Amino acid sequence: MRTRLISTTVGLAALALASSPSVLAHTIWLEPLAERQHTWEVFFGGHGGETNAFDADRIGQVRALHADGHDVPTELTREGERVFIGIAPGTAMVTLHFDNAIHTRTSHGPSVRAPMTEVEGAVSAVNAQKYHKTILDWESDVILTPVGQAMEVLPTRLQAPRAGEPLRVQVLIDGEPAAGVRIGRGEDTGEGVTDATGVAEFIPEVGFNKLWAGKRMEVDDEPRYTQLSYEYSLVFSVDAP
């Protein structure tokens, strides 16, 4: 399969292919649950801070790494439409993959969640993949090491972010530095664009931070879809000075 970059963002303008653009532009992320220690809630959402219900079966690999580098178990639980992940004490980083499926546009109606090979009158399709990382320990070397996500955002040094001071991150796609990727606080914002080494700067704020990055690529030699969409969220907290 060959891919060609067609946009540095997966924002509103780039999502005209789908009948429900917000679905493709959403990201997946974790937030700590105040009333349950070592428990995080999974959220799926997009523009303006909105969140939406999602199919928990589309959550793929969830991986937690201890500060010393070994994998630690996680527990995925559901309570109605809410989804939670329990992690062990000493966890330095949690990663997650969410398969938002293939959305095909037809020549005679709205897009549908199915590959082009299964849709009559299909003209184009987007394969929407979401990736996430939560950093809990900024003194552990594991946060500098790629874990093999198709799209991945890594900090460039072992130093806890400080509010108002630039945080340098590197974006990788298929393990290689990705230039020209826009990052920001969400799909509707932009704080920087990665350089030739895949590096860009993000300005953290006090409290909960969610860095967004996205890239869409045109695909050749793939009968099921014509574009591949990656979106990423990197979550961390910053203490007040």
Q: Report, in angstroms and rounded to the nearest whole number, the Rg of the chain calculated over CA atoms.
A: 18
Quote the pLDDT of residue 8: 34
pTM of the model: 0.88
Tell me the residue range of the domain where 141 lies: 2-236
Quote the pLDDT of residue 111: 87
Band the pLDDT of 33: cuts 50, 70, 90.
Answer: very high
Residue 241 lies in a domain: no
Quote the pLDDT of residue 12: 28
| Minimum mean pLDDT range among 21-25, 89-93, 94-98 | 21-25
Would you say residue 162 has pLDDT above 70?
A: yes
Residue 45 lies in a domain: yes
Q: Which residues contact 123 (CB under 8 A, 6 or more apart)?
A: 105, 106, 107
Higher pLDDT, 132 or 25: 132
Mean pLDDT of the chain: 88
Answer yes or no: are the C-beta atoms of 124 and 156 closer than 8 Å: no
How would you write the chain as a 3-class SS string? CEEEEEECCCCCHHHCCCCCHHHHHCEEEEEECCCCCCEEEEEEECHHHCECCCCHHHEEEEEEEECCCCEECEEEEEECCEEEEEECCCEEEEEEEEEEEEEEEECCCCCEECCHHHCCCEEEEEEEEEEEEEECCCCCHHHHCCCCCCEEEEECCCCCCCCCCCEEEEEEECCEECCCCEEECCCCCCCEECCCCCEEEECCCCEEEEEEEEEEEEEECCCCCCEEEEEEEEEEEECCC
CA-closest candidate to residue 127, choices 116, 138, 142: 116
CA-based torsion, 182, 185, 187, 191: positive or negative:
negative
Would you say residue 10 has pLDDT above 70?
A: no
Residue 205 lies in a domain: yes
What's the total number of domains in the chain?
1
Quote the pLDDT of residue 188: 67
